[in-house]
Amino acid sequence: MKRSLLSLLLLAGALAACGDKPPGQLEPIPRPPGYQDPPKAEAPKPAAPPAPDPNKVVLRWKLAAGAPMAFRLEGSPEAGASALKAVYVLQRPEAGDNVLRIAQESSKEATERATFSERGFILDGLGDVDRNLATLLLELPKDPVGVGDTWALGADFVNPEPLGLGFATKKSDRRNTVKLESLTPEGDDRVATIQYDLFETVSGAFPPGALPAAATETSPLKAAPDKGKGKGKKPAAADDPHDNKPKATEVLSEVSFKGSGQFLVKAGRWRSWQGTLTSKTEGYSPAPGKSLAHVPPGTLKLQLTALDSVPAELQQPEAKK
């Protein structure tokens, strides 16, 4: 009997213990009458974008849907060049990227087609030569520019990769500078005068016996002019006609472009554009019909002229590639 009573007392104590609150728990502090929670802090507002610099302009092609823009590019040949005549048509479709179509005049070659961004960057299409010419004509700076600012074009005038691993580059030089020379008011528009100064050269040689079988000689490599006074120097030894040892094969490729253009900021098109493009390759080319220089050979005086209308065969954006 005593054991049963003791068991009941222990069970009652255990049940009472289960109802206790865990140790360390804090009781909430009662709020005084009329108390209100403070308002939550507002998230900080993003900083306003900086005001545009009135001395800088954004140069972009302004193309209206359904209203293509056409130019004729003419290249008057000088030493070692052929005449160049091509029509460039720029069009903004209802959807998708801007379309560029190029037709060579007096040629049966198919019309070339490419896509480009608002700043004239070639997105897709065109071979090396056409792509470089289109870059010269179309590409505008990515960021706003002011008078004196410079930028570079995405042109690739000289590329020695087709010569293969046997070719050893001795010298490579590149200058790629486009400059906003001036901004001049003209009616309700402004004229941005742009200057171009581009130059690329690569020279090197194939080790004796390493010239690719498909390589062809373009023109003999000319010796560099001696800029010294010549005093105390021994004349270069002439090649020994009886020396049958294989010799290294020299290669030189060089391209330059100097020009200027006047771009209408509000209208978004060229008012005028011209320049001189010079290309020469001495020594060897990778194969017949190929060149390290990805522009037309020789010297061309380039001139761009706006056309009043688009030729009928170039009015369709899905022109044959």
pLDDT tens per residue, range 247-293: 557 788 899 999 999 999 999 999 999 999 999 888 766 655 667 78
pLDDT at 243 over 60: no
Q: In this prediction, what percent of the chain has a pLDDT beyond 90?
A: 45
127, exposed or middle or buried, with CB in 10 Å at 0-12, 13-18, 19+? exposed
174 or 227, higher pLDDT: 174
- What element of type H or E holds 137? helix 128-138
**Window from 114-128, 134-148, 224-238 with minimum mean pLDDT:** 224-238
Average pLDDT over residues 29-50: 77
Q: Which token pair is 302?
A: 């380039």
pLDDT digits (tens, 9 = 90+) for 123-178: 999 999 999 999 999 999 999 999 999 999 999 999 877 777 777 788 889 999 99
Query: β-strand 84-91 against 98-104: which pairing, if any?
Result: antiparallel
**Domain extents for the chain?**
59-221+248-309
Query: β-strand 284-285 against 84-91: which pairing, if any?
Result: unpaired
CA dihedral 279, 285, 290, 295 (to 10 degrees): -10
Which pLDDT band, with edges at 50, 70 and 90, does 319 fall under? very low
Which pLDDT band, with edges at 50, 70 and 90, does 10 fall under? low
> Could you tell me which residues come within 8 angstroms of residue 290 by beta carbon, excluding any fewer than 6 positions away?
162
